[in-house]
Amino acid sequence: MKVLIMSVFADLHIHSSYSDGVYTPQELADLAKGAGITVLALTDHDTLQGLPEMKEAAAKAGIGFIPGVEFSARWENRQVHILGYGMDQHNAHLLERLADVREARRSRLEKIIKRLHEMGMDVEVPVPEEGHRAVGRPHIGRALVAQGYVSTVQEAFDLYIGEGKPAYQPQTKMTPPEAVELIHQAGGLAVQAHPEEIGDRELALRLLDTLPYDGLEVYHPSAIEKEAQDFWLHVARTRNLFVTGGSDYHGNAGRFPEKLEEWRVLKDNVQGFISRFGL
């Protein structure tokens, strides 16, 4: 007699409409339940605003929840993202710094829109009015799709708003040391996000050897090849870092994964990290 063993999944890197994701926390909880995800973390860019709603929605869906956030940083002319988990959501310094970053995001958005207008694209971007929501280039990408200038958000990045493209504008960002310190002083765990996506393994390794990270995001769509996963898994284990992973799901057409079930992490592979949160 065969015994059918169902796989159990986790996703520790998801974005909602409180930053540059498409779906609300409630919609994400429904999607996660349908995808067989039993533990998830909301990691919106530079905002904690969606965490209470996500916590409630996850509880109703019977899904374990870990509160998180994703910081955008820059180091040696490379984009570096740092994930923070389990921080004090009322920490005054954390909230103040996040507010500064969100204001810089809005200023950058206005510059990109102005540049698109100069290029002859009369694009209108619906920007969330709530100050605690984080805006980003995907908002512009979706507007370009809606108004017929491109077919997908990814195409908008490839042609106009990605780094090095005609309408791109640099963003004032914190440094990785500042982000890690901010996470720790708020009582959280700092995880180096998608190291393969940095595009420079030596730089990523220097950061991991220099900064007091707690974990490394081994499983991520940017490391879809087994060689990359094995490389970063070895890095995490030899440095005694928690192993984490997630889909980096935004819900955008043309950006992998387009569906939450297209990229899932086996819960057993990240159980050590999840256990820190009693899950």
Those residues with Cβ within 8 angstroms of residue 185's Cβ, 6 or more apart along the chain or in another chain:
91, 93, 94
pLDDT at 6: 59
Each residue of 138-154: pLDDT tens digit? 888 888 988 999 998 88
Average pLDDT over residues 167-177: 89
For domain 9-275, the question of CATH label 3.20.20.140 is answered with yes
CA distances from 133 to 101, 240, 255 (A): 11, 35, 22
* Model confidence pLDDT, tens digit, residues 17-48: 999 898 999 999 999 999 999 999 999 999 99
The least confident of 34-38, 133-137, 144-148, 201-205 is 133-137
Q: 3 pLDDT band (50/70/90 cuts)?
A: very low
Q: Is residue 172 predicted with pLDDT exceeding 80?
A: no
pLDDT band at 255 (very low <50, low <70, confident <90, very high): confident
Structure-token match 């810089």, residue found: 104
* Mean pLDDT for the chain overall: 92
> Among 188, 209, 191, 170, which residue's Cα sits nearest to residue 246?
191
Q: Does 5 score more than 70 pLDDT?
A: no
Pairing mode of beta strands 215-219, 189-192: parallel
Angle at 45 between CA 274 and CA 177, to 5 degrees: 80
* 216 within 8 A of 235, measured Cβ to Cβ: yes
Instruction: Tell me which residue of 110, 102, 116 sits closest to 161, measured CA to CA.
Output: 116
- Residue spans of beta strands (DSSP E) within 163-221: 189-192, 215-219
The answer to whether residues 217 and 194 touch, using CB atoms and an 8 Å cutoff, is yes
pLDDT at 131: 54
Instruction: Please state which of the ranges 45-59, 117-131, 244-258 shows the lowest mean pLDDT.
Output: 117-131
* Amino acid (1-letter code) at residue 209: D
**Confidence (pLDDT) at 134:** 74
Mean pLDDT of 93-105: 91
d(CA 81, CA 197): 9
pTM for the whole structure = 0.88
Cβ-based neighbours of 267, under 8 Å, separated by 6 or more: 8, 9, 10, 38, 39, 274
Backbone angles phi, psi at 74, to 5 degrees: -140, 140
